[in-house]
């Protein structure tokens, strides 16, 4: 993801952040802070660090929702006819569909990213007001910038995110 990071350092960063997020209060915030701190400590700076941590967190959250849904679906296919199992599977499927739809909308066009970012910022500001916090400091323009950076990364540096492959032998 970041030029010069390497597969094993990326793996170390991801595993360290995930492990700490499970044992230290703060969950995902601890994960993000750990990954950000490790990248800064290794000499990476600026927006690429924020983008790398954001995309890693996004993929992790997606996996967090997808794998249990797949597991429950497979259990249901294997003969599990529990109503609770089906309800949880359906709820998970709805969440996964909403997340996938939001991701597609953001990547589809800058206009969609701006609309979704502005709407999400308004909702987050309303939720903050309930707990007596100020408005969020981001909006749809920030999501459009993130979209542009993410697309650039996916188009030009995707190979750096993939694990190393053995070279073909003759």
pLDDT tens digits, one per residue of 82-100 = 778 778 777 878 888 888 8
Quote the pLDDT of residue 125.
94
Average pLDDT, the chain: 81
| Sequential DSSP letters for 27-89 | THHHHHHHHHHHHHHTT--SHHHHHHHHHHHHHHHHHHHHHHHHHHHHHHHTT---HHHHHHH
Q: How far apart are CA 42 and CA 124, in angstroms?
A: 33
Q: What pLDDT shows up at residue 134? A: 92
pLDDT at 65: 77
Q: How far is CA 44 from CA 4, 12, 50, 55, 62, in A?
A: 9, 15, 10, 16, 25
What token pair was written down for 99?
Answer: 């997340």
Q: Mean of the pLDDT values across residues 33-39?
A: 90
**In the predicted model, what is the mean pLDDT of residues 51-80?**
78
- The pTM assigned to this predicted structure is 0.57
* Model confidence at 56: pLDDT above 60: yes
What is the mean pLDDT of the segment spanning 153-170? 53
Least confident of 11-20, 50-59, 111-120: 50-59
Q: pLDDT tens digits, residue range 107-155?
A: 889 999 999 999 999 999 999 999 999 999 999 999 898 888 778 766 7
∠ CA 114-120-121, nearest 5°, is 85
Most confidently modeled range among 9-23, 130-144, 150-164? 130-144
Tokens 């924020």, residue? 50
Closest C-alpha to 99, from 66, 148, 135: 66
| Residue among 59, 39, 12 at smallest CA distance from 158 | 59
């Amino acid at each position: 993801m970041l030029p010069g990071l390497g597969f094993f350092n990326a793996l170390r960063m991801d595993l360290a952040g995930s492990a700490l997020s499970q044992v230290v209060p703060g969950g995902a915030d601890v994960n993000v802070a750990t990954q950000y701190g490790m990248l800064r400590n290794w000499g990476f700076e600026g927006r690429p660090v924020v983008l790398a941590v954001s995309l890693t967190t996004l993929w992790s959250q997606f996996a967090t929702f997808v794998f249990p849904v797949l597991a429950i679906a497979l259990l249901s296919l294997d003969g599990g006819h529990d109503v609770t199992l089906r309800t949880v599977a359906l709820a998970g499927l709805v969440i996964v569909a909403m997340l996938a739809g939001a991701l597609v909308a953001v990547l589809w066009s800058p206009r969609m990213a701006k609309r979704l970012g502005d709407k999400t910022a308004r909702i987050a500001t309303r939720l903050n007001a309930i707990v007596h916090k100020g408005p969020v400091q981001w909006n749809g323009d920030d999501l459009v910038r993130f979209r542009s950076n993410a697309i650039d990364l996916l188009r030009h540096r995707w190979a750096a995110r993939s694990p190393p492959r053995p070279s073909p032998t003759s």
